[in-house]
Amino acid sequence: MSHTRSTAKARTVRDVVFVDGVRTPFGRAGEKGIYAGTRADDLVVKCIRELMRRNPALPAERIDEVAIAATTQTGDQGLTIGRTAALLAGLPRTVPGFAIDRMCAGAMTAVTTTASGIGFGAYDVVIAGGVEHMGNHPMGAGADPNPRFVAERIVDPAALNMGNTAENLHDRFPAITKDRTDAYAVASQTKLAAAYGKHQIQPDLVPVATMKPGQGWTVNTVDEPPRPGTSTEDLAALRTPFRAHGRVTAGNAAGLNDGATAALLASADAAEELGLPVKMRLVGYAFAGVEPEVMGIGPVPATEKALKNTGLNIEDIGLFEINEAFAVQVLSFLDHFGIADDDPRVNRYGGAIAVGHPLASSGVRLMNQLARQFEEDPSVRYGLTAMCIGLGMGATVIWENPHHADYGTEAAGPSTDTATTTETGAAA
């Protein structure tokens, strides 16, 4: 008897595109916040349903995966939330889903992980996003850090408190003064207010109806955290909770927030086949590790690696969406790359200091804002989204603008016909 051996079909890396992204309005965590009586998984459901409503050309059965991130994966953020949210949103039972955690970069990792699957050919269309209900699940609630972290000096104890890591970053870079961080924070509030005034934020917000005892139903259509009109004098009077006579305050850092995001990604071929819009093309990404006690510097080595992987230089980047966990973290990034504090390429719509940072959800907010800025400014070819990550990591994703005149003529990276999607985790 003769036997023949099958040969696996060769695969080429496919282009991955960002089709659409939405988010709930972000709320303040706590019993007075807009989502005090709302479940985290229901916030995700709102986002998934809105993506399907906005993209009627997409048959629900064509979705190959739903990846949803949460930092605290318990309660209404547990039970494999990607799968449960897909079922609750009414997607076909044939659509699988999973949960993912990379702390603040959860949604960003959900995007890069599923994008890699698209590039490899495992998926054609996916939904990726994140949620954090910090009112229901305060940061670190239920966590049990191994005592060896401290006993064996694996990490500095400050690494377990994000505010302390920000103070450490000030120590490392004394040129980043409290006055600078307060001025940066005021600018973030001012830019967000201006973006709201120009209707640049509202198109990607999903209205969420909430019920509070004694108050009835309310439809929430705007973010709750912003404080327009904040001045540097206001911020100078705030206490420094992480260190006596410190520099980090509630005014120059992101707050504790609730919210969810979701994005629709596809292969370029599938998007064309289904008539889906293309808002951005994924060029490349990288993750990097740094000392946990100064986690805010993480976006610097991540960006250096992403640029190296894609063959780009920092001068090629025309727009930056950098998560503002702390003002000092953004300023350390700008100083490293020689970018001015008020450079108009950076966080044009303001950032997390103003709008909020519901941990695992924030990565897709950055992408939503970059995609809208690409549409408004066809002169920009490349932009990046970046963020620091608890326990000492950074993440950067580089995107290409489909509205640019040179889009599609010659892709960045080592090959002209493939997208570069390299994950790196070496220590900086």
- What are the respective helix, strand and coil percentages of the chain, to the nearest 5? 35, 20, 45
Q: Which is the catalytic residue, given 47, 170, 357, 404?
A: 357
Lookup result for tokens 């993750």? 287
Asked if 357 is an active-site residue, the reply is yes
Q: Which is the catalytic residue, given 133, 137, 170, 388?
A: 388
Tell me how far apart the alpha carbons of residues 286 and 266 are, in angstroms, rounded to a whole number. Answer: 20
Contact 295, 358 (CB under 8 A): no
Neighbours of 332 (CB within 10 A): 24
Exposure on the CB side of residue 383, measured as CA atoms within 13 A = 31
From the list 293, 299, 289, 288, the residue with the least C-alpha distance to 154 is 293
Asked if 388 is an active-site residue, the reply is yes
Q: Which is the catalytic residue, given 47, 104, 133, 170?
A: 104
10 Å CB burial of residue 396 (0-12, 13-18, 19+) is buried
10 Å CB burial of residue 427 (0-12, 13-18, 19+) is exposed
CA distances from 177 to 247, 275, 384 (A): 7, 50, 26
Contact 265, 18 (CB under 8 A): yes
CA distances from 294 to 104, 173, 219, 247, 354 (A): 15, 11, 40, 15, 23
Query: Which residues are catalytic, by number?
Result: 104, 357, 388
